[in-house]
């Protein structure tokens, strides 16, 4: 009789231990955060946030929308041309991101630089991202009409053509809905203010979210 009672007690203790182990295991699974992704912003002053606080700049506003599951690395440099971006790409990729938003070329246009050279620079960057298996959202830019119709046509064709060539996600115009509205721009008339950045972030957010979803599937 005593032996039976003892065996029952041992069995109950073992069942309790197994139940506790299962509970802890489930708790551990529930407590494990979703896999974090790293998104690199690779552009010029428009994404660097020139004239704005860190919170009000593009990276800050985008981070607030994406939440803590995404880490934004803002590798954007004010004043950079496409050649500058290509020159610093190796060390910028020192910590490999999961995805990249590529926004370069505006300063090429503002300086009236050779469009064919800009195309070569962007092509080299896209080739590097492709080789690294890093999905890209290519962001386009519009050219000032003051540069002449031939320049405008050649310049604006580069972005969609490269997006097709590399089969990459494409956002046609970073300043869409902002560039012609003085209330959404800083005094220089070229860089968005905090309200303008908010407008841009809301417009581009679906494209960025799709990019991150694509990166997660790789």
Length of the chain: 218
Q: Which listed residue (76, 82, 191, 198) is catalytic? A: 191
Q: Which listed residue (90, 150, 167, 188) is catalytic? A: 188
Catalytic residue flag (residue 108): no
* pLDDT tens digits, 157-167: 999 999 999 99
Instruction: Indicate whether 39 pLDDT > 90.
Output: yes
Catalytic residue flag (residue 207): no
Task: Confirm if 70 and 211 have CB atoms less than 8 A apart.
Answer: no
Q: Which residues pair with 71 in a beta bridge?
A: 38
Band of the pLDDT at 97, cuts 50, 70, 90?
A: very high
Instruction: Indicate whether 33 pLDDT > 80.
Output: no
Provide the CB-side half-sphere exposure for 125 (13 A, CA).
32
* C-alpha 109: how far from chain center: 23
Q: Which listed residue (44, 45, 98, 198) is catalytic? A: 45
Catalytic residue flag (residue 13): no
* pLDDT tens digits, 104-132: 999 999 999 999 999 999 999 999 999 99
* Residues contacting residue 40 through CB under 8 Å, at least 6 positions apart: 72, 73, 75, 92, 97, 99, 100, 101
Give this prediction's pTM. Answer: 0.84
């Amino acid at each position: 009789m005593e032996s039976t009672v003892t065996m029952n007690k041992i069995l109950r203790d073992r069942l309790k231990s197994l139940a506790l182990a299962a509970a802890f295991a489930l708790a551990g699974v529930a407590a494990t955060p979703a896999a974090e992704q790293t998104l690199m912003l690779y552009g010029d002053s428009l994404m660097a946030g020139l004239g704005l606080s860190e919170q009000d700049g593009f990276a800050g506003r985008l981070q607030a929308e994406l939440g803590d599951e995404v880490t934004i690395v803002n590798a954007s440099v004010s004043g950079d041309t496409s050649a500058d971006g290509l020159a610093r790409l190796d060390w910028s990729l020192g910590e490999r991101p999961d995805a990249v938003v590529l926004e370069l070329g505006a300063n090429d246009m503002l300086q009236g630089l050779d469009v064919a050279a800009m195309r070569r620079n962007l092509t080299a960057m896209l080739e590097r991202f492709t080789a690294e298996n890093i999905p890209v959202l290519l962001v386009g830019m519009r050219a000032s009409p003051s540069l002449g119709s031939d320049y405008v046509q050649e310049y604006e064709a580069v972005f969609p053509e490269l997006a097709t060539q590399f089969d990459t996600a494409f956002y046609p115009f970073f300043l869409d809905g902002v560039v012609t509205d003085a209330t959404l721009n800083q005094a220089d008339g070229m860089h968005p203010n905090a309200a303008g950045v908010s407008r841009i972030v809301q417009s581009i957010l679906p494209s960025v979210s799709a990019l991150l979803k694509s990166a997660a599937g790789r």
